[in-house]
Amino acid sequence: MSDDVRDADIKKAEFGQEAGPETTSINAAVEREQKSRVPRIFKAQAFQILLVLIVIVIIFSIAAPDTFAQLSNLRLVVQNASILAVLGVGMTFIIITSGIDLSVGSVLVFSGVVAAIVMRAMGGSDWGTATVGIIVSILSGLAWGTFNGILISKAKVPPLIVTLGSLGMALGLAQILTGGVDIRNVPAVLTTTIGYGNILGGIPIISVIALVFVLIGAFVLHKTKFGLYTYAVGSSEEAARRVGVKVDRHLIKVYALSGGLAGVAGILSLSQFSTTAIAGQSQTNLNVIAAVVIGGTSLFGGYGTIFGTVVGLFIPAVLQNGFVITGVQPFWQQVAVGAVLIAAVYVDQLRRASAARGASTSLWSHFFRRNKK
């Protein structure tokens, strides 16, 4: 969608009225989208986190040049981050609306379990059976996401409580359906193609699938009315209502999107691990949330990028890989990621304070000013 069309949509949403205090936050969100891109990129927290990621890669490359700095190792890191990348797209939309979704890991497991049960009942191992499993997994995720969205938007239950409840419900139902025992009857076609297949001589198919969802998510967030409304709702829900945005309907769509992507992640997990991995996703929700926040998406809503989320995903992935290769206990990864997460939220607080004062939102400018005092 062109900038002219987006401007026309915004003016239409405002019904030609003069912007009052209610619309200030939405206008601010729109103005951020329309600023010059080059200065905005360098000021963005996502770019600053990218520099941190580059430094981490350089350090591990120097420490273990014969193992870490190899194409095969990079391929492994990318492949391990692929499922989280799909979940991260949906989580970015939700956190931009000032929400949260703690249920994505459990919905992933539930969707995979239901898909595995259906495929086992069909008894085939061809693409026909696999296609049915893929559809069932996505629909299962959509159902949970819609359930979350309705309770949050219509019943006005806080997102933290709704998705915390869904976390337990989805995981509990998955365990009831399987008796607590993982299902290992996964069609071989899924494992050999999506799970471990490669294209162009060595690019994992699962990573290509994740990249497609990342690119589509970035386009929807930054180039469509749906993405613009997502920023508007996160900036001020009440102001969004006043300019004509159907906030309740939009929130349902956003949570349904996250649930659907959790369903996609469920089939990707089945394909990669050849099992439902019921007990293997306990930290998935926290890992995704941490990645999104580390990548610069504000927990207070109204600000974030898909690019930042992808960068945020690779910091813990690279740390874990690098620690294993260099012989450092992998438990240090949790310490390092926790420190980066706290730093990312602190930077977001600085950015919000600077924006409120009308000053530069660059982290470097903030520290340079402090050093001069």
Cα(204)–Cα(70) distance, rounded to whole angstroms?
16
Angle of CA points 108, 112, 113, to nearest 5°: 115
Q: What does the block give as tokens for 211?
A: 């990249």
Cα(139)–Cα(110) distance, rounded to whole angstroms?
11
Neighbours of 279 (CB within 10 A): 11
pLDDT string in tens for the chain (373-residue length): 444 444 444 444 443 344 444 455 555 555 555 544 444 555 566 777 888 889 989 999 998 888 888 888 888 889 889 999 999 999 999 999 999 999 999 999 999 999 999 999 988 788 999 999 999 999 999 999 999 999 999 999 999 999 999 999 999 999 999 998 888 888 889 999 998 888 887 889 999 999 999 999 999 999 999 999 999 999 988 899 998 899 999 999 999 999 999 999 999 999 998 888 888 787 888 889 989 998 889 888 888 999 999 999 998 888 888 888 888 877 787 788 788 788 878 877 777 777 666 655 444 444 444 445 4
pLDDT of residue 80: 87
96, 297 contact by CB (below 8 A) = yes
Q: What does the block give as tokens for 97?
A: 């609306």
Cα(248)–Cα(225) distance, rounded to whole angstroms?
16
pLDDT of residue 11: 42
Instruction: Write the DSSP string, 184-244.
Output: ----HHIIIIIIT-EETTTEEHHHHHHHHHHHHHHHHHHHSHHHHHHHHHHH-HHHHHHTT
Longest dimension (CA), the chain: 72
Question: Which CATH code fits 26-353?
Answer: 1.10.3470
Token look-up 């409304």 returns 229
Domain ranges in the chain? 26-353
Cα(166)–Cα(109) distance, rounded to whole angstroms?
12
pLDDT of residue 133: 94
pLDDT of residue 31: 56
pLDDT of residue 334: 78
Cα(66)–Cα(63) distance, rounded to whole angstroms?
9
Cα(138)–Cα(265) distance, rounded to whole angstroms?
9
pLDDT of residue 2: 46
